[in-house]
């Protein structure tokens, strides 16, 4: 996965709280191989048949969403759908914890903004698209005429910028892991499953 530190593109507002991962990608699409692309599944059942849905008219890199975005199921496919659609950053007042972790593992920025700013951005964007610029290193963004700073966990920032993968990061600790494993099962033999 390649990292990114700045992006310029379009932002679109997705109205409403609790856009959960079942909406982001309905379960029936999840048996498909990723290689075929998941972008077409994004918000499929919400979008298809709703002529006015902004994602039927725009292909934004940035989304402004309501609180509790990405709540629910741990399905990483919800992030695949966003990323394959071309989205690289989502700003919302709050995110599902598992979604937020999945996002960073796939190069998607999920950044928290307060309700007030969120409402202002949504109003500025209306049903259309607005120009957006996001600077990861500086932790700032300019969207539809609003300049603002956002906070981001430093490790998440590092992972996004470098396109890092945890498996790489963990490799250097294998000795410690092996040592821990030995000590754990020696001290707590019950923790090892009884062979059947």
Partner 1 sequence: MSAPMTLLDKLWDAHEILQRDDGTSLLWVDRHLVHEGSHHAFAKLKERGKAVSNPALTFGVVDHYAPTRGGAVAPDIERMMVTLGENARTHGIRLFDLMDPGQGIVHVIGPEQGLTLPGLLINCGDSHTSTHGAFGALAFGVGATEVAHILATQTIWQKRPRAMRIRFDGMLPSGVTAKDMALHWIALLGADGAQGHAVEYAGSAVETLSMEARMTLCNLSIEGGARMGMVAPDAVTFEYLRARPFAPLDFDAAEADWRALSSDAEAAFDREVHIDAADIAPTVTWGTSPEEAAPITARVPAPDSLGSKAAHARASLDYMGLEAGTPLDGVTVDQVFIGSCTNGRIEDLRMAAKVLVGRRARVPGLVSPGSSRVKRQAEEEGLAQIFTDAGLEWAGAGCSMCVGMNGDLVESGKRCASSTNRNFKGRQGRGARTHLMSPAMVAAAAVAGHLTDVRPMLEGRG
Q: Which residues in this chain contact partner 1 in the complex, by CB under 8 A?
A: 15-18, 20, 22-23, 26-28, 30-32, 34, 45-46, 66-68, 71-77, 79, 94-99, 101-102, 105-106, 115, 153-155, 165-167, 169-170, 173-174, 176-177, 180-181, 184, 188-194, 196
Angle subtended at Cα 188 by Cα 184 and Cα 193, rounded to the nearest 5 degrees: 95
CB of 143 to partner 1, least distance (A): 21
| Residue with smaller CB distance to partner 1, 121 or 132 | 121
| Residue with smaller CB distance to partner 1, 147 or 193 | 193
Helix axes 97-104, 77-85, angle to 10 degrees: 50
Angle subtended at Cα 20 by Cα 88 and Cα 80, rounded to the nearest 5 degrees: 35
CB of 179 to partner 1, least distance (A): 9
| Residue with smaller CB distance to partner 1, 10 or 93 | 93
| Residue with smaller CB distance to partner 1, 61 or 102 | 102
| Residue with smaller CB distance to partner 1, 15 or 57 | 15
What six digits make up the tokens of 159? 């992972």
CB of 64 to partner 1, least distance (A): 15
CA–CA separation, 66 vs 77, rounded Å?
20
CA–CA separation, 36 vs 24, rounded Å?
17
Pairing of strands 6-14, 62-65: parallel
CB of 135 to partner 1, least distance (A): 21
CB of 116 to partner 1, least distance (A): 11
Helix axes 97-104, 154-162, angle to 10 degrees: 40
CA–CA separation, 135 vs 6, rounded Å?
5
CB of 163 to partner 1, least distance (A): 12
15 close to 66: Cβ distance less than 8 angstroms: yes
| Residue with smaller CB distance to partner 1, 54 or 132 | 54
């Amino acid at each position: 996965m390649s990292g990114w530190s700045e992006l310029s593109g379009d932002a679109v507002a997705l109205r409403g709280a609790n856009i959960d991962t079942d909406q982001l990608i309905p379960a029936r699409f999840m048996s498909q191989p990723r290689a075929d692309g998941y972008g077409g599944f994004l918000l499929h059942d919400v979008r298809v048949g709703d002529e006015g849905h902004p994602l039927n008219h725009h292909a934004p890199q940035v989304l402004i969403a309501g609180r509790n975005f990405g709540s629910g199921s741990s399905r990483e496919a919800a992030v695949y759908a966003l990323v394959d659609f071309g989205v690289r950053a989502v700003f919302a007042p709050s995110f599902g914890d598992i979604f937020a972790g999945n996002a960073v593992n796939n190069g998607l920025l999920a950044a928290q903004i307060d309700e007030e700013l969120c409402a202002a951005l949504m109003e500025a964007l209306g049903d259309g698209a607005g120009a957006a610029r996001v600077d990861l290193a500086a932790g700032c963004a300019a969207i539809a005429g609003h300049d603002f700073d956002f906070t981001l966990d430093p490790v998440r920032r590092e992972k996004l910028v470098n396109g890092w993968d945890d498996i790489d990061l963990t490799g250097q600790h294998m000795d410690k892991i092996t040592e821990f494993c030995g000590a754990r099962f020696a001290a707590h033999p019950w923790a090892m499953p009884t062979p059947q």
